[in-house]
C-alpha cells in the first residue's frame, strides 16, 4: 500500500489538515507511529499520543479539537475507527490471493463448487455438499454430507462443519471451530446411567456472521440451532443445541449459552458470561463479564451484571457496599465492645 493523504481523504470522504501529498505505506498504532505510517485516534485515552506520534497521517473524528500543535497530517472523518477498519480491509488482506485447488484435496463427485472457490491442502468435501462462489476453504477443513457454504466465505484451517449444516454468505469461521457437533442430550435411566438422545437437527448460520477460533456450536436435537445475520462470536464460545442467537449480537470469549435459549438481537455478552437454558433474553440486553443469567429478561436495552445478574446500577451499589464490609464489621465490633463496657458499668 502506498497512497497520499489526499487520495485517502477522497476515499474516506474526509477533510485533510496538513500536507495532502504526504505518502503512507503502512499502518501503525498511534503510540508506535513511524514515518510513512497511517494511524487513527478514536479513543480519548490515547489523545496524548497524537501530539508526539511519528506517523505521517492520523485519522481523527470531525469533532476532535486538539489541545496543542500536531505535527502529523490529519484527516477528519465521521468515524475514525470505522474508517481505519475500512483501510485495513482494503489494503491488508493477504488471503485474497489464495486461489485454486491444492494437492491432497478430496472432493466427492456429488459435491458442488461455485466459481473461483479455493480449497487448501488436505481439505475434505463430502457427498452432496456445496460451496458458493469465491469462498476460500483453508487446509484441513472438513465439510460434511449435504452441508452448504454460501458465497464469499472464509473458512480457516482445521474447521469442522458437520453434515446438513448451512453457512450463509460472507461468513468467516476461524481455525478449530466446530459447527454441528452433537448437542449435549442424555436421558437418565432408572439405574442412574444415561442414554444418548439422538441429535437429528442442524446448525444454520445466516449471512455476515464471524465465528472465533475453537468455538463450538451444537446441532439441534430437532429443528435448528440458529446464528442470525451479522452476529460476531469470539474465541472459545460454547453455544448449545436449539439456541437461537438474534441478529447483530456480540459474544465475547468463553461465553456459554445453554440449550433452547433465545438471545434477542443487538445483545452484547462480555467475556465468560453464562446464560442458563430455556430462557428468553430481550433484545439489546448487555451483560458485563462473568455475569450469569438464571431467568428470562423481558425488558429490552438494559444493562446487567453479577451472578445471578441484576441491573447494572443496583449491582454497582452492591459492590460499593461489599467493599465497605470489612470497615463496617470493624465498626460493629467496636460498638459491641463499647456497649459491653457500658453494661458492665
* Catalytic annotation, residues: 241
Q: What cell numbers appear for 342 in the block?
A: 457500658
Distance (Å, rounded) from C-alpha 145 to C-alpha 28? 44
141 contacts: CB under 8 Å, gap ≥ 6: 120, 123, 124, 155, 156, 157, 158, 159, 160, 161
Q: What cell numbers appear for 210 in the block?
A: 464471524
Distance (Å, rounded) from C-alpha 135 to C-alpha 141? 13
Q: What cell numbers appear for 73 in the block?
A: 497530517
- Per 3-state DSSP, the chain is made up of helix, strand and coil in percentages (nearest 5) of 20, 30, 50
φ, ψ for residue 2 (rounded to 5)? Answer: -140, 120
Question: Exposed, middle or buried, 81 (CB in 10 Å: 0-12/13-18/19+)?
Answer: middle
Distance (Å, rounded) from C-alpha 105 to C-alpha 231? 31
Amino acid at each position: 500500500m502506498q497512497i497520499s493523504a489526499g487520495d485517502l481523504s477522497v476515499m474516506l470522504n474526509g477533510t485533510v489538515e496538513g500536507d495532502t501529498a504526504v505518502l503512507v505505506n503502512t499502518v501503525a498504532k498511534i503510540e508506535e507511529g513511524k514515518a510513512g505510517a497511517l494511524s487513527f485516534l478514536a479513543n480519548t485515552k490515547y489523545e496524548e499520543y497524537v501530539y508526539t506520534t511519528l506517523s505521517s497521517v492520523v485519522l481523527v473524528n470531525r469533532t476532535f479539537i486538539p489541545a496543542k500543535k500536531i505535527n502529523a497530517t490529519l484527516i477528519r472523518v465521521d468515524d475514525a475507527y470505522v474508517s481505519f477498519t475500512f483501510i485495513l480491509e482494503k489494503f491488508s488482506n493477504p488471503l485474497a490471493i489464495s486461489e485454486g485447488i491444492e494437492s491432497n484435496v478430496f472432493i466427492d463427485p456429488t459435491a458442488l463448487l461455485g466459481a473461483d472457490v479455493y480449497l487448501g491442502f488436505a481439505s475434505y468435501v463430502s457427498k452432496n455438499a456445496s460451496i458458493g462462489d469465491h469462498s476460500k476453504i483453508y487446509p484441513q477443513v472438513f465439510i460434511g454430507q449435504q452441508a452448504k457454504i454460501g458465497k464469499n466465505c472464509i473458512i480457516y484451517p482445521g474447521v469442522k462443519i458437520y453434515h446438513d449444516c448451512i453457512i450463509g454468505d460472507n461468513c468467516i469461521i476461524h481455525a478449530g471451530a466446530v459447527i454441528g457437533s452433537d448437542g449435549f442430550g442424555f436421558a437418565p435411566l432408572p439405574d442412574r446411567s444415561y442414554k444418548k438422545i439422538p441429535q437429528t437437527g442442524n446448525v444454520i448460520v445466516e449471512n455476515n456472521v464471524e465465528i472465533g477460533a475453537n468455538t463450538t456450536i451444537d446441532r439441534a436435537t430437532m429443528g435448528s440451532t440458529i446464528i442470525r445475520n451479522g452476529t460476531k462470536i469470539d474465541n472459545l464460545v460454547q453455544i448449545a443445541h436449539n439456541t437461537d442467537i438474534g441478529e447483530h449480537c456480540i459474544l465475547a470469549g468463553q461465553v456459554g449459552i445453554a440449550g433452547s435459549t433465545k438471545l434477542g438481537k443487538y445483545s452484547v455478552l462480555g467475556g465468560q458470561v453464562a446464560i442458563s437454558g430455556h430462557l428468553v433474553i430481550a433484545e439489546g440486553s448487555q451483560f458485563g463479564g462473568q455475569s450469569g443469567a438464571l431467568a428470562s429478561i423481558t425488558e429490552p436495552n438494559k444493562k446487567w451484571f453479577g451472578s445471578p445478574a441484576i441491573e447494572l446500577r443496583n449491582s454497582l451499589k452492591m459492590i460499593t457496599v461489599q467493599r465497605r464490609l470489612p470497615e463496617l464489621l470493624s465498626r460493629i465490633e467496636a460498638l459491641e465492645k463499647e456497649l459491653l463496657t457500658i453494661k458492665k458499668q
